Amino acid sequence: MMAAALVLVLLGSWEAYVRLGGIDEIVLPAPSAIATALHDDRALLWSNFTVTAGEIAFGMLVALVLGLACAVAMHFSDALRRALYPLLVSSQTIPIVLVAPLLVAWWGFDLTPKLAIVALVCFFPIVVPTLDALDRVDPDLRKLMRTFGASRWQTFRIVEAPAALPGVLTGAKLSVAIAAIAATLAELAGSDSGLGNLMLKAIPNFETARAFAAVLVLSAFSMALFGLLALAERRLLPWAHQTRGTAQ
Amino acid sequence: MLTRTRAPAQAPSQVQTGLGSVCLRDVGKTFAARRRGAAPVTALDGLSLDAGPGEIVAVVGPSGCGKTTLLELVCGLTEPDAGSLQAAPATLMAQRDLLLPWRSAVDNAALALRVAGIERAAARTRAAALLRDFGLEGFERARPYEMSGGMRQRVAFARTLLSGRTVLCLDEPFASLDALTRQDMQDWLAGTLATQPRTVVLVTHDVEEAIVLADRVLVLAPRPGRVVATLDVDVERPRRRTDARLVALRERALRELRA
Ligand SMILES: Nc1ncnc2c1ncn2[C@@H]1O[C@H](COP(=O)(O)OP(=O)(O)O)[C@@H](O)[C@H]1O
Ligand SMILES: [Mg+2]
């Protein structure tokens, strides 16, 4: 309620500010103008949205598959962990803004460089919480499994993997938040479609309202993805919210 | 001198034949220092323990006197660095129930059966039958967080029994329960072991618990962990806590602990 009221007040004063001529419509379009753009350009927005949504979804999927494989490998092998962790951290220091045009130069305007950039950005936030969750599995549980004669793999499958699921979902939620920025950046570096491409073309044409509408669509998509993951978390892991009694 | 003999692990699927025994002779265990510069910790020194088939041996002692280490040795989770150890396949039940929060009671109880490769339906049938014997009918599908501490501990005990190990190592199994529930659980455990005998090494710092449940009580002193007294509890079962002989033994054990 408070949040909704706050948004309304904010939108109202924004609208009033622009209408009273406080600022040029080209620099800051009024909320009503953005709403109009959302409606009038819906076909254009939709077709570009599907492109960007695909980049985000598949990029995150790639990051998830590679990130989980990497976390599990590092969990099983100390040597791999020592070898990979510095590389992982340094991968986060790569200035994506500079690398994106290079990838586009290598791979062209198609999906591949966008997937690579989204995956590169989302990889780290998936690996770290997953690996942390695997590390934090109660050592007494591993001992228990050993007294049952369980193999290393059985212990992983029965105890460690399910226990790491909250970490995986945390990682996925963190990467959703940045995947949209990564996809936009990738499109700015070279593309012929997508919401980032649409923004890029709209601004020099003084269609600022359309660019704002594109931003709105993109953040709505990110929030929906985030909400979906939060829902999955509550449905899949009811125990993660209510274990306080079991794990003293 | 160091020898270690273990009976081959028995698959839980097999019907229980006979009861295992445990025999430790002058066992020692020293841990390297956790921090650099600190002295190594001698957790156990010259400890001997015998638990014949179907016997319940309790070990009491203050925190840090090596009780958990002793059980981990019996279960083969660590190796002694002195003395000899013979033990039938053993499994551990800890103070914390260690139930998997994402599994139902029946699936938690069936854990060892599943590890042994028994298929799900058969494992569930056996686990559900035991849970019913343990008064948990209707809670088969409950998750651990939906159960009380005493119920969770019974599920953990069902899981321990179904592991098919002939030796049970119980590490302060009721220490996290409130006093009333703890007494109920002690009586319940005594009754369960009367109908389903196992060789038990019971670690506790509750002297009364040890006396009420065990055939023999070893009193341990810390640094290094060693046996300072052995009390035989020649009192027939079922036992009453107020039995004069038990009360006298409890006083003696407490005296030994304080010595
Ligand atoms: N893995 C370990 N590394 C170093 N020291 C240990 C380790 N396990 C136990 N100890 C030490 O050995 C002693 C006995 O521990 P423990 O067997 O847990 O005692 P208890 O169960 O009787 O409280 C303690 O001083 C403890 O700090
Ligand atoms: Mg202990």
Q: Is the pLDDT of residue A157 over 90?
A: yes
**What residues are neighbours of ligand 2 (ion), with CB under 5 Å?**
B 68
- Cβ A248–B96 below 8 Å, yes or no? yes
Q: Is residue A149 part of a domain?
A: yes
Flag whether residue A188 sits within 8 Å of chain B, measured between CB atoms. no
pLDDT tens, B105-141?
Answer: 999 999 999 999 999 999 999 999 999 988 888 999 9
Q: Is the pLDDT of residue B33 over 90?
A: no
Q: Is the pLDDT of residue B234 over 60?
A: yes
Q: Is the pLDDT of residue A182 over 70?
A: yes
Q: Is residue B22 part of a domain?
A: no
Q: Is the pLDDT of residue B14 over 50?
A: no
Mean pLDDT, all residues of chain B: 89
Residues B252 and B197 in one domain: yes
User: A155: domain range?
Assistant: 50-235
- Cβ B145–A246 below 8 Å, yes or no? yes
Q: Is residue A43 part of a domain?
A: no
Token pair in block for residue B207: 């002297």
Q: Is residue A34 part of a domain?
A: no
The radius of gyration of chain B's CA atoms, rounded to the nearest angstrom, is 18
Query: Taking the alpha carbons of A224, A225, A229, A235 in that order, is the dihedral positive or negative?
Result: positive
Q: Is residue B122 part of a domain?
A: yes
Burial class (CB in 10 A: 0-12, 13-18, 19+), A147: buried
Q: Is residue A219 part of a domain?
A: yes
Q: What residues contact B223, with CB distance under 8 A and at least 6 apart?
A: B42, B64, B65
Domain boundary among B163, B191, B215: B163
Residues B174 and B257 in one domain: yes
pLDDT tens, A57-88?
Answer: 999 999 999 999 999 999 999 999 999 989 88
pTM for the model stands at 0.83
How are the residues of chain A apportioned to helix, strand and coil, as percentages rounded to the nearest 5? 85, 0, 15
Residues B143 and B249 in one domain: no
* Distance from C-alpha of A74 to C-alpha of A87, rounded to nearest angstrom: 12
Q: How many CB atoms lie within 10 A of CB A108?
A: 11
Residues B255 and B172 in one domain: yes
Residues B181 and B223 in one domain: yes
Say if residues A125 and A70 touch (Cβ distance below 8 Å): no
What's the number of domains chain A is made of? 1
* Residue A20, CA distances (Å) to A9, A35, A148 in order: 16, 19, 75
What's the number of domains chain B is made of? 2
Flag whether residue B8 sits within 8 Å of chain A, measured between CB atoms. no
Tell me which residue in B99, B115, B149 faces A148 most closely, judged by beta carbons: B115
Q: Is residue B15 part of a domain?
A: no
- CATH number of the domain enclosing B36: 3.40.50.300
Q: Is residue B227 part of a domain?
A: yes
User: B212: domain range?
Assistant: 31-89+165-259
Flag whether residue A42 sits within 8 Å of chain B, measured between CB atoms. no
